[in-house]
Chains A and B, each alone.
Chain A
Amino acid sequence: MALRLLTRNLRNRISPNLCSASLLHSHATSFGFKEVREEEKSQMVGKVFSNVASNYDLMNDFMSAGLHRLWKDRLVSKLSPFPGMKHLDVAGGTGDVAFRILESINSIRRRALQDPINDDLQEETRIYVCDINQNMLNVGKNRALERGLGEDKSLVWVQGDAEALSFEDNSMDGYTIAFGIRNVTHIEKVLTEAYRVLKRGGRFLSLELSHVEIPVFKELYDLYSFSVIPRLGEVVAGDRESYQYLVESIRRFPPQEKFASMIADAGFQKVEYENLVGGVVAIHSGLKI
């Protein structure tokens, strides 16, 4: 797992061919390897997730051999949640990350270390789960009920668009987006919104499937992605198209360094990324000061 620090002058080092405007424009009009109109992309992504919502978690387990759980654990441990935190989990539909954060804050170990004053703070913790797709949110709410968190007022389910959040400026201590930023139409808008809602000292963390550069492993990973995953989608979820979109959209998403420079452009400092499983997944983090 390699950790790299990015400086602001990275943009100047990227060759003119990959100038930011054209790459971003291509993200806004790409639906996997297909070209679509900007206005349509949002709808098409919406359809994908309405289709996959019911089998989402099951498919995640299949495709990543259960590893996605570890990745999300790593994300939450990097976040370092604390009692009284106001956290926003965007594109967090089925609630995986939100549940982990809540459990981390409520864990016995933590409670043992606190002094009595902090117990009141525990009451103030708010985890907002925001997703553009109501189906995903419904699945999440049901899962919360199953886990016994149905009555917990720390969890708030909000339907909303990551590019135009309904939260106030400087209101969030943390912002996470796990496997969601790949699906948005305009990445920079999402990053700007993230910067807006975070407080001073707040952190932005994104967990996303990313690019593998290791020679032999790259070929194996490509083989797995394009041959196995759509087939798996067809067999398990009955939906080949959506999973074809999934693997194509991973390839279209900017590589680690590029995405890190985009985060820096949005105003974040101390932008770093950590590759997991050789680059299959990358956790990018930024600090708002």
Chain B
Amino acid sequence: MSSSCRRPEHKAPPEVFYNEEEAKKYSQNSRIIEIQTQMSERAVELLNLPEDKPCYLLDVGCGSGLSGDYLSEEGHYWVGLDISTAMLDVAMDREVEGDLVLGDMGQGVPFRSGTFDGCISISALQWLCNADKKSHIPPKRLYTFFSSLYSSLQRGARAVFQIYPEDSKQLELITSQAMKAGFTGGMVVDYPNSTKAKKFFLCLFAGESGVLPKGLGSETSSRNVPNQVQFTGQRSRFKNMKGKSVKKSKDWIMEKKERRRRQGKYVSMFICLV
């Protein structure tokens, strides 16, 4: 299977890839529907909204409205943003309850400050990492998106993105722009040991630091494979895709000290800043 099959964003820009034929799958293919719905459920869970309160949410890359339907089921109101008219047409045929907006998230979300109580995005963010036009500069588009999203969120609100990261370089690109825009947070990884079930959720906090939720399947994961990567402040401390810290990084040093402590060896409390 060629890599472009698994990575649709290498094939064409989203408004071209998600044409009528592709859009039809989202209303007819039960497997796609099931997966998208499950990921939406998990994303809403990670949003940690106040219980029993109807909220006003933004769904970025809402597509055919599968994730939006779940938001409506939970009693929330939502606005969906998508770049594909074919996908939005399907959403309209399916009579979704949310209000739909045709737009390119890389150009910024066109809402005034403090509008939303939260934001979810299912399988959409990775599309921003590729330059589909000559004029596209991915880091700039990511920053435009994140900064406008940050301001459109209420203080203390969260934005949860289910993504399929290509590699750690891409993850670094995404998270560095998110932090530049003012967000804190980190990556939650569900079922880190299963290639089939593994899922990545970027969990961002706007304005208030929160406690990063634990990834699912952590009870069965080995000690060396983390299911959380927290980043705060100015520097993103990244673990590579295998879950081990980059050698000689601060994390690597901390982990080594912890290992030696467990082995009963004396460890000095002096920490080198790398």
The answer to whether A and B assemble together is no
Which residues in B have some Cβ–Cβ distance to A below 8 Å? none
* Chain A positions near chain B (C-beta within 8 angstroms): none
